[in-house]
Amino acid sequence: MNAAATARAHTNIALIKYWGKADTKLMLPQTSSLSLTLDQFYTDTSVAFDASLTQDEITLNGQRLTAQAGHKVHNFLDLVRQRSGQTAFARVDSTNHVPTAAGLASSASAFAALAGAASQAAGLNLSRTDLSRLARRGSGSATRSIFGGFAEWHAGTDDHSSYAEPFEETVDWPIAVVALVLDARQKKVSSTQGMQSSVMTSPYYPAWKNVVNQDLAAIKPAIQARDFTTMGEILEANAMRMHALTLSANPPYSYFNGETLAAMATVQTLREQGVACYYTLDAGPNVKVFCQTPDLPVITERFKAQFGADSVVVAHPGPGINLQSTL
């Protein structure tokens, strides 16, 4: 049995959003979703089970977490122990190369990396599909970060049927994503809180589930046909429909700030000037702009002038999880 393992997993950005849980314990989503894994944002996590420990020791970005702050990781490790028969506590050392809880999918890369490292260290030799199922139990979107390129998460109806799989893992067309890090602080309304509020109180939530099914059915052939315009139009509309659920919840809330709206307006202006680009946002103020590689110079220069060079990060399609074991 391996005593320790290290994993690197990258964040993903959903083109067709996951927003709402059907089962909070199993982390089953209300709808299926589709994402693109990005190369520039990732999490490195090492896990070692050690019989001399009296509790799990969890370190994030060099800071030891309290029991309360690390309870999600502890619960996840309990799940791994239950499945593997491992009885020892674990030492977890994780570094997020992405702002935590700022709407940049840090939980996706974090729990995908934790799932990979913890399962490997505990002696579980999981297939990528099974690893996707396990990662889902920590964070729903982590199920997609097991894979590179475009990945589809099948909503399913139980633990076995809810998993992600590659849609197009090798992305051989010149797609880029310009990430605008407008506010790296932790958001006031967590994704979990926001989802629950939208599901329970937005009168438009039933329509959202129908819209997701339609958008997913429409975007897949666009990706297969390398139809960037159609893909962009669908992903932008889907993002705005998701955020309409936050505005229509009771009480209403929004992840946007003034710079978010300014960035969205700039994307629209660039399109009017003939530059093909489309925006999307997850649960946070930070905007991700889909474009094609030849248009990167004009897009990045425009946003650097608007928000500063440090706020502009260029990403491309990224790889799936990478695992390393040590004895």
Among candidates 325, 327, 323, 326, which has minimal Cα distance to 8?
323
| Domain covering 175-315, topology | Alpha-Beta Plaits (3.30.70)
Share of the chain above pLDDT 90, in %: 89
> Where does the pLDDT of residue 1 fall: very low under 50, low under 70, confident under 90, or very high at 90 and above?
very low
Pairing of strands 312-315, 175-180: antiparallel
Check: CB of residue 195 under 8 Å from CB of residue 140: no
Where do the CATH 3.30.230.10 domains begin and end in the chain? 4-171
Check: CB of residue 314 under 8 Å from CB of residue 178: yes
| Domain covering 4-171, topology | Ribosomal Protein S5; domain 2 (3.30.230)
Pairing of strands 163-168, 150-154: antiparallel
101-126 confidence digits (pLDDT tens): 444 658 899 999 999 999 999 999 99
Cα–Cα distance measured from residue 243 to residue 228, given in angstroms and rounded to the nearest whole number = 23
pLDDT at position 112 is: 98
> Where does the pLDDT of residue 100 fall: very low under 50, low under 70, confident under 90, or very high at 90 and above?
low
Where do the CATH 3.30.70.890 domains begin and end in the chain? 175-315
pLDDT at position 102 is: 45
40-97 confidence digits (pLDDT tens): 999 999 999 999 999 999 999 999 999 898 999 999 999 999 999 999 999 999 999 8
Sort residue 238 into left (φ over 0), alpha (ψ -120 to 50) or beta.
alpha
pLDDT at position 189 is: 85
